[in-house]
Structures are given as structure tokens and as C-alpha cells.
């Protein structure tokens, strides 16, 4: 560049620079997934503000084109898949969109420079990467759109749902073409909306590179145009409007300020993005004692804000976006002179981390799903087909869920009762010890690891000695996640008692959970979360569909060969349908075929090891001796291996061992009850409180029973309804602390309160 300008001006703004190649790919309207000409066929010029020359001609949309776009958006919302996708599915697509933006950073930054005069170096380093991160942030929120359960003042059950508003109209300003595009588009996509986007006519190129659809008018621009948008919305269908309009923001600098720092902030406040920022600090108010020194310092520092070609790495101020804006700024400078303000300088023409790491980890799991599913089958006897279709993808989605939460760990600003300013910080708890059971090696590994990684913790993980293989596949930066395979009595005990472990998370039996808690108390009083045993009830009422009830009861106990802490091992059937239920149960139980877990037709695999195999068979013998009637099964299912026939006992009494103890195998205890009250009493007659099931067509019964059962989760007309977003954990001796959902993340954080005094505040 010849004679690159200083002090905010330049006599010669010619730049012998190598400009990154930027093919103008899109100049047509994007409607219904296709690039199309405008109905009128009209086009308009888009200008390079560095030279004032035409870059390209772009299709000029009008009312007819808006009607077509809104129609496409309406059809997509009313009949298309986007609003109906699970939040996690929308998030996955948004993450892919963000990755695609990362791959085209230089091209997109070039478009914004050519079209808006924005600094190329800033666009490449800041604006375009922030666009991708905005998408990722809202992708992480897409599966966390929660309503609330309301505590009503009368005998009513109520809750709120957050539903997508519909077709959204997004009107984008020209000062930050890419950034403002995704500030609007990202949350609307995450919410499940469809949209019509109108970029500024001055800067359409990058928007056409992105392109999408709309209804709830979301507008960013001047106050005058915002007023017109609101009037149009009121005159049509009273659509809601959000307006982010103009500003004349003040910056107050007090006598005790560091003057150099204050001058830098004042210049940044108004010169950043050549002042084309709605929050630009254009009114700087300096306290009188430092005013003169501040002015001198400001004059010197203003020289550092070099004006030049935005592609040049030394430029700090590029051209105004177009001739109209250039002339508007120059006219205000002339107004200032005429009204008596002193021109000090210038006045003339100048010629989001951890979440990313977790997401990559999840992608790696997806790529190795077959191998991981095979390890689970070999190691734990789990069904290969189910591992591949459910368990391993669930583990990857756990990582993605908490990756999306990693940048949403927010404290609260407190409303204090005195002249104090208070807020809370959520900080990672430190080094976490995870002790993993053997029944769901991969799922339970990541139900512990994923939220603690998102929280910022480091960890030592001890997988079960019976199932170490899949855990050893984990890979994350050195020192963050450490996997130690060993026995519970040695390695597990060492984690629980270690003075440098800040938290222990344990899933397993109540007996071992008690030992973990004692070790934590005797060492450094580390907090403990325990997900322990269960003896979960399934209550089936007279109005239930009997065939469906039978299927759910069998699923509740025989899924994963009964090796599930939440297994529905106690089934209570109301007397009106009991006999019919028993007959159908005996027939349908035969469909639960026992066999090699690698065989896709198998529904029940082997118990995890000889110890568990013999334990289950011993409980079956106890049931026979105590007088229960064996309806089905009750024997080993093969001469070799640890296979047991799916087993159902009837005529079970509450005091029998098979009704009291957690067996952790394919053994159902079937009982009868008369009234709703009796069913609730039987269901709660256990030391455990992990899970429960209700089968009924009556909303009244479902509401009454779900509030009466003392368990951490109640599944209504379903069972094993686990979901990443739904907290899971027990009452009573089933432990405390939750896995899944945002509650799981919070158990790896600790709250710090920060308080400072405030003086002469206009309000508390």
C-alpha cells in the first residue's frame, strides 16, 4: 500500500494487496430450498464500499416473493419435520451447519469485507468463528427447552409447554451481516421455527451464502424503520415483534480512572467497526478533574486507528458501508462544526472449548459404534443389536447434550435486602471419582463422565472389574480423564477415601454405596452422589389394555436380562383383570427367547458372570421354598454359559425374599391388589425408591398414584423411559443425586457467593 494513512486519514488509499478469491456464488432469492429469480425479474446492484464499484447484481425481492417465501415457511412449519424433530436432532443438524461455516471462514469473511467494508482480518478471526459458535450455543439449548410444573392453589395439576412460535420474519441490518444473521437465525432454529430472512440490501452476499425462512417479526435496524415494522405487524395479524433499534450510548469516565485505559476504551467504543455499531459509545462524558489530560491522551491514541483497505492487516477502520451512509456521517460532522463543536481529530474523508471437545468425542464414538457394541456384548452379555442401535448412540448423545450445556453454566445475580451487590458463581468441584457398575458399561460410563467434563472437572474412573473393555476406549486430553481398572474393594475404596478426590459418584448396590459414603466421611468429607439398588413396582389397573400391560410388565423385568437397577421386579395387578393378565403373561413370556447376545433374534442374553448367575438361581429356589408359585422359567437355559430362563412367580407375599430383595436378574414377583389405596401401599412397602410404573387409561388414577408413590421416577403407560434430558435417581435407600438432565451437571459444580457493597444506588 502506498502511504498507508495515520491519524484517521490517508491521502492515497490504493492497496497492492492479494485479496482472497471470492466467487459470488449466490445472487438469487432462496425460497423453499431452491435459488430462484424474483417474480418481477428485477435485480439491484451490490457495491464494494472500498471502490464504490458494483460487485454483482442481486435478485430484487418484492411482496410477491415474500408471499412465496412465507408460504414455503408456513408449509414447512405446519407439515414439515423441523418443528417435530427432537431437540437433539435439531442440535445435530445445527452443529453440522456450524462445522460447514468453519470450513468456509475465509470465503465468508471476504464476502463481508467486499460487501460491508468490514476488516478482513477481524472477520476471519472473530466475526465468522463467532457465527459458528452462536449456532453451537443454541444447538446446545435445543434439547433443553423446558416448561414448568406448577404448584397450584387448588386440586389441579398444571404445567407449561414452550412451543415454537411458528414462521418468523427476520430483518437483518448491514453493519454486522453474518453476526446479526445468526443472532436471529440460531435461536429460531433451535426453537423449531421456520423463517423468512431479509438481509439488508446493502449487504446481501453472505446472507445468500447462508439462506433460510420466517413469522414472528424479529427486526434489527433504525428506530424509524422499526416503527414501520411494528405498524405493519399491528395492521396485519398482530404478530409479535422484537425490535433491537438505534442507540446513542454514553461512556462515563470518572476522576479515579486509569487515563490510558480510559482513552483506549473510549476509542474502541466508537471506532470499532467504523462506528457502525448500534451500541457504539458515541457520547463520552469525562469528569472534569482529568478532562484535559484525557483529551491530550485521546488525540495521540486516535492516531493509532489507521484508516485503510479492510483487507490490509494493519487497517483498524474500513470504509462506511455505502455512499448513503458515508454522506450521512459527513453531514453530521458538518452539523457539529456549524453548531460550534471543536473538531479535535479527523472530520474529513479518508480516502466457545470444552463443548467442542465433547462433541468431537461423541463423533469418535459414532465412528466406532460396531466395535464398542461388540465389546459390550463380549464383556457383559448384552444384546449386540440393542447395543448398536441404542446404548452406544445414547452414550454419544450424552456427550453432545452436555457439550451443549458446557457454556450455559450460569450463576445468579441476587436481589439483596441491603445496599449490597451479590451474585453466585458455579465452579467445577475439582477431581471427581467415578465408580461404574457392570450392567450398562458404556451408558453409565458417560452418564458420569459427560456432565463432569462439561463442568470442567478432572476425574478418575473405575469401571466394574467385570466389564472394563469399553471404558478403556475413552480418549480425552491427558490428565483430564484417567481410567483405572481394578476391584471395588481396592481401587474403588481408594477413590472413596482419597484426600485429593473432591467428589465421588457411585452407581451400584446399596451395601457398597454405604461403604463409599462412610469412606468419604472418614476422609475429607467429600460430597457423594449414589445411584443404588431398587425393587421397583409396576401397578396395573383394571382399566388397562391387558395386552399392552403384559408387554410393559415383561419389558420392565426382562430387559437387559433383569440386570437393571430400575427393573420392574414387583408387578401388582388389580383383581378385576388379574386372571386374564396371568394367562396372557404365561404365553407372551415365551417370546422372550434366550440365546447368544450376538444373535439378532435373541431377547435375553447370559447373566454377567458365574457369581450373578448363581445368585439369581438361589433366589429362585428361595421363592419356591417360601411358597410362591412358579408360572414360567426358573431354570438355567443352557448347559454352558450363564443363561437363565425368564422367570415369573405368582402367589407372592410381601414378606418373601423375592419380593423384598433386589435380585438383579430376570425374575418377576406377581401380586394382586384390590383398591387404588391398597396398590399404593404395596408399591411403597420397600426400603427402595428408585423407579416405578403405572398402567392405566385414567388421568385421575395416573395423577393420584404418581404423586403417592415414593420413587425418583414414575413411568406412566411405559417403562424404562430413560432420556438424556430427564433426571434419574432415587428416594430412600436407592440413593441421592441425579444422573441425566441439567441436575447431573450441577452436582459437579459448587456455588460461590460474591458480595460487594453498593453506594447511592437508585434502587435495591
Instruction: Give the pLDDT of residue 204.
Output: 87
Q: Can you tell me the distance from the alpha carbon of 522 to that of 515, in angstroms, rounded to the nearest whole number?
A: 11
Comparing 125 with 148, the larger pLDDT belongs to: 125
Q: Which DSSP category does 492 fall into?
A: I
Q: What is the mean pLDDT of residues 736-750?
A: 84
What is residue 618's three-state secondary structure?
Answer: helix
Rounded to a whole number, what is the distance in angstroms from the first to the last CA of the chain? 56
Residue owning grid cell 466395535: 371
Q: What is the mean pLDDT of residues 286-296?
A: 93
pLDDT at 172 over 50: yes
Highest mean pLDDT: which of 316-320, 494-498, 577-581, 743-747?
A: 577-581
pLDDT at 215 over 50: no
In 3D space, the residue among 364, 381, 498, 358 whose CA is nearest the CA of residue 434 turns out to be 498
The pLDDT tens digits for 377-406 are 776 667 777 778 878 888 888 888 888 888
- Ordered DSSP codes for 156-223: --EE-------EEEEE--SSSHHHHHHHHHHHHHHHT-EEEEE--TTS-HHHHHH--B-SSEEEES-H
- Number of Cβ within a 10 Å radius of residue 449: 29
pLDDT at 489 over 80: yes
- Number of Cβ within a 10 Å radius of residue 67: 12
Q: Are 731 and 689 in contact (CB under 8 A)?
A: yes
In 3D space, the residue among 270, 211, 205, 216 whose CA is nearest the CA of residue 239 turns out to be 216
**Average pLDDT over the chain, rounded to an integer:** 83
Q: Are 709 and 685 in contact (CB under 8 A)?
A: no
Highest mean pLDDT: which of 94-103, 262-271, 462-471, 625-634?
A: 625-634
Which range among 48-57, 314-323, 352-361, 410-419 shows the weakest confidence by mean pLDDT?
A: 352-361
Active site residues: 244, 531
Give the residue ranges of DSSP H helices in 523-609: 546-558, 578-588
Q: Are 54 and 46 in contact (CB under 8 A)?
A: yes
Comparing 512 with 347, the larger pLDDT belongs to: 512
Instruction: Give the pLDDT of residue 12.
Output: 43
Q: Are 700 and 690 in contact (CB under 8 A)?
A: no
Which residues sit opposite 422 in a β-bridge?
Answer: 414, 755
pLDDT at 84 over 50: yes
Which residues lie below 8 Å from residue 548, measured CB to CB, with a gap of 6+?
Answer: 695, 717
Q: Are 201 and 173 in contact (CB under 8 A)?
A: no
Instruction: Report helix angle 87-103 to 128-141, nearest 10.
Output: 170
Instruction: Give the pLDDT of residue 467.
Output: 53
Question: What's the whole-model pTM score?
Answer: 0.70
Instruction: Give the pLDDT of residue 348.
Output: 66
Residue owning grid cell 484426600: 499
Which residues lie below 8 Å from residue 27, measured CB to CB, with a gap of 6+?
Answer: 43, 56, 57, 58, 59, 208
Q: Can you tell me the distance from the alpha carbon of 708 to that of 361, in angstroms, rounded to the nearest whole number?
A: 41
pLDDT band at 700 (very low <50, low <70, confident <90, very high): very high
Comparing 693 with 70, the larger pLDDT belongs to: 693
Q: Is 627 exposed, middle or buried (0-12, 13-18, 19+ CB in 10 A)?
A: exposed
Q: Can you tell me the distance from the alpha carbon of 516 to that of 495, in angstroms, rounded to the nearest whole number?
A: 9
The pLDDT tens digits for 613-652 are 999 999 999 999 999 999 999 999 999 999 999 999 999 9
Highest mean pLDDT: which of 32-46, 163-177, 650-664?
A: 650-664
C-alpha dist (Å) from residue 597 to 73, 271, 305, 364, 553 = 47, 67, 69, 24, 22
Q: Can you tell me the distance from the alpha carbon of 587 to that of 669, in angstroms, rounded to the nearest whole number?
A: 17
Residue owning grid cell 449386540: 384
CA angle 201, 203, 208 (to 5 degrees): 95
The pLDDT tens digits for 537-579 are 999 999 999 999 999 999 999 998 999 899 999 999 999 999 9
Q: Are 181 and 196 in contact (CB under 8 A)?
A: no
pLDDT at 11 over 50: no
Residue owning grid cell 459509545: 281
Q: Are 406 and 355 in contact (CB under 8 A)?
A: yes
Q: Are 321 and 175 in contact (CB under 8 A)?
A: yes
Q: What is the mean pLDDT of residues 725-751?
A: 87
Instruction: Give the pLDDT of residue 277.
Output: 75
Comparing 348 with 278, the larger pLDDT belongs to: 278
Q: Can you tell me the distance from the alpha carbon of 106 to that of 128, in angstroms, rounded to the nearest whole number?
A: 9
Rg (CA), the chain: 33
Which range among 8-22, 100-114, 540-554, 732-746 shows the weakest confidence by mean pLDDT?
A: 8-22
pLDDT at 19 over 60: no
Dihedral sign computed on CA atoms, order 720, 725, 731, 736:
positive
Amino acid at each position: 500500500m502506498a502511504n498507508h494513512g495515520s491519524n484517521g486519514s490517508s491521502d492515497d488509499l490504493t492497496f497492492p494487496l492479494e485479496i482472497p478469491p471470492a466467487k459470488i456464488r449466490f445472487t438469487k432469492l432462496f425460497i423453499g430450498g431452491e435459488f430462484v429469480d424474483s417474480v418481477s425479474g428485477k435485480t439491484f446492484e451490490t457495491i464494494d464500499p472500498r471502490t464504490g464499484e458494483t460487485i454483482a447484481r442481486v435478485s430484487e425481492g418484492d411482496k410477491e416473493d415474500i408471499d412465496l417465501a412465507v408460504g414455503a415457511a408456513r408449509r414447512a412449519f405446519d407439515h414439515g419435520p423441523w418443528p417435530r424433530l427432537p431437540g437433539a436432532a435439531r442440535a445435530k443438524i445445527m452443529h453440522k451447519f456450524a462445522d460447514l461455516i468453519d470450513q468456509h471462514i475465509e470465503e465468508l469473511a471476504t464476502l463481508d469485507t467486499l460487501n460491508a467494508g468490514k476488516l478482513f482480518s477481524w472477520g476471519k478471526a472473530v466475526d465468522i468463528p463467532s457465527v459458528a459458535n452462536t449456532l453451537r450455543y443454541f444447538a446446545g439449548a435445543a434439547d433443553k427447552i423446558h416448561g414448568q410444573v406448577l404448584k397450584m392453589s387448588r386440586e389441579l395439576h398444571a404445567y407449561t409447554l414452550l412451543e415454537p412460535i411458528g414462521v418468523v420474519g427476520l430483518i437483518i441490518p448491514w453493519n454486522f451481516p453474518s453476526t446479526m444473521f445468526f443472532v436471529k437465525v440460531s435461536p429460531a432454529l433451535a426453537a423449531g421455527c421456520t423463517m423468512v430472512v431479509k438481509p439488508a440490501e446493502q449487504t446481501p452476499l453472505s446472507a445468500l451464502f447462508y439462506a433460510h425462512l420466517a413469522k414472528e417479526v424479529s427486526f434489527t435496524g433504525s428506530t424509524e424503520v422499526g416503527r414501520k415494522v411494528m405498524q405493519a405487524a399491528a395492521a396485519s395479524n398482530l404478530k409479535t415483534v422484537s425490535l433491537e433499534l438505534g442507540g446513542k450510548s454514553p461512556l462515563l469516565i470518572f476522576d479515579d480512572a486509569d487515563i490510558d485505559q480510559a482513552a483506549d476504551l473510549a476509542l474502541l467504543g466508537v471506532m470499532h467497526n467504523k462506528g457502525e455499531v448500534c451500541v457504539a459509545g458515541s457520547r463520552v462524558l469525562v469528569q472534569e478533574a482529568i478532562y484535559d489530560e484525557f483529551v491530550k491522551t485521546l488525540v495521540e491514541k486516535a492516531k493509532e486507528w489507521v484508516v485503510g483497505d479492510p483487507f490490509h492487516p494493519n487497517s483498524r477502520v474500513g470504509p462506511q458501508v455505502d455512499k448513503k451512509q458515508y454522506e450521512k456521517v459527513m453531514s453530521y460532522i458538518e452539523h457539529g462544526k456549524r453548531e460550534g463543536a471543536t473538531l479535535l481529530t479527523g472530520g474529513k474523508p479518508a480516502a466457545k472449548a470444552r463443548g467442542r471437545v465433547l462433541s468431537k468425542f461423541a463423533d469418535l464414538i459414532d465412528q466406532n459404534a460396531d466395535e464398542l457394541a461388540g465389546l459390550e456384548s463380549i464383556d457383559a452379555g448384552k444384546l449386540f443389536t440393542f447395543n448398536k442401535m441404542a446404548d452406544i448412540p445414547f452414550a454419544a448423545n450424552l456427550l453432545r447434550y452436555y457439550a451443549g450445556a458446557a457454556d450455559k453454566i450460569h450463576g445468579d445475580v441476587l436481589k439483596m435486602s441491603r445496599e449490597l451487590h451479590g451474585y453466585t458463581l458455579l465452579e467445577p468441584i475439582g477431581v471427581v471419582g467415578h465408580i461404574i457398575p457392570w450392567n450398562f458399561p458404556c451408558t453409565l460410563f458417560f452418564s458420569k463422565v459427560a456432565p463432569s467434563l462439561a463442568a470442567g472437572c478432572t476425574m478418575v474412573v473405575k469401571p466394574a472389574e467385570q466389564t472394563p473393555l469399553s471404558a478403556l476406549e475413552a480418549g480425552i486430553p491427558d490428565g483430564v480423564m484417567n481410567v483405572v481398572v481394578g476391584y471395588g474393594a481396592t481401587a474403588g475404596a481408594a477413590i472413596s477415601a482419597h484426600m485429593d478426590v473432591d467428589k465421588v459418584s457411585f452407581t451400584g448396590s446399596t451395601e457398597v454405596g454405604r461403604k463409599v459414603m462412610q469412606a468419604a466421611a472418614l476422609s475429607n468429607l467429600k460430597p457423594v452422589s449414589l445411584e443404588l439398588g431398587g425393587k421397583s413396582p409396576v401397578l396395573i389397573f383394571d382399566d388397562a389394555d391387558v395386552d399392552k400391560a403384559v408387554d410393559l410388565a415383561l419389558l420392565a423385568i426382562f430387559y437387559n436380562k433383569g440386570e437393571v437397577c430400575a427393573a420392574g421386579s414387583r408387578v401388582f395387578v388389580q383383581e378385576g383383570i388379574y386372571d386374564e393378565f396371568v394367562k396372557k403373561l404365561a404365553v407372551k413370556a415365551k417370546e422372550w427367547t434366550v440365546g447368544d447376545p450376538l444373535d439378532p433374534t435373541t431377547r435375553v442374553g447370559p447373566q454377567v458372570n458365574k457369581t450373578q448367575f448363581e445368585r439369581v438361581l438361589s433366589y429362585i429356589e428361595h421363592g419356591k421354598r417360601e411358597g410362591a408359585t412358579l408360572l414360567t422359567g426358573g431354570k438355567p437355559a443352557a448347559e454352558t454359559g450363564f443363561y437363565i430362563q425368564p422367570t415369573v412367580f405368582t402367589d407372592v407375599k410381601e414378606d418373601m425374599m423375592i419380593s423384598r430383595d433386589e435380585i438383579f436378574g430376570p425374575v418377576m414377583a406377581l401380586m394382586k391388589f384390590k383398591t387404588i389405596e391398597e396398590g399404593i401401599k404395596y408399591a411403597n412397602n420397600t426400603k427402595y425408591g428408585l423407579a416405578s410404573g403405572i398402567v392405566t387409561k385414567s388421568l385421575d388414577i395416573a395423577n393420584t398414584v404418581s404423586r403417592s408413590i415414593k420413587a425418583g421416577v414414575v413411568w406412566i403407560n411405559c417403562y424404562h423411559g430413560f432420556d438424556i434430558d430427564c433426571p434419574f435417581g432415587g428416594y430412600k435407600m436407592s440413593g441421592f443425586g441425579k444422573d441425566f438432565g441439567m441436575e447431573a451437571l450441577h452436582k459437579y459444580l459448587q456455588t460461590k457467593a460474591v458480595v460487594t457493597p453498593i453506594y447511592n444506588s437508585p434502587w435495591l
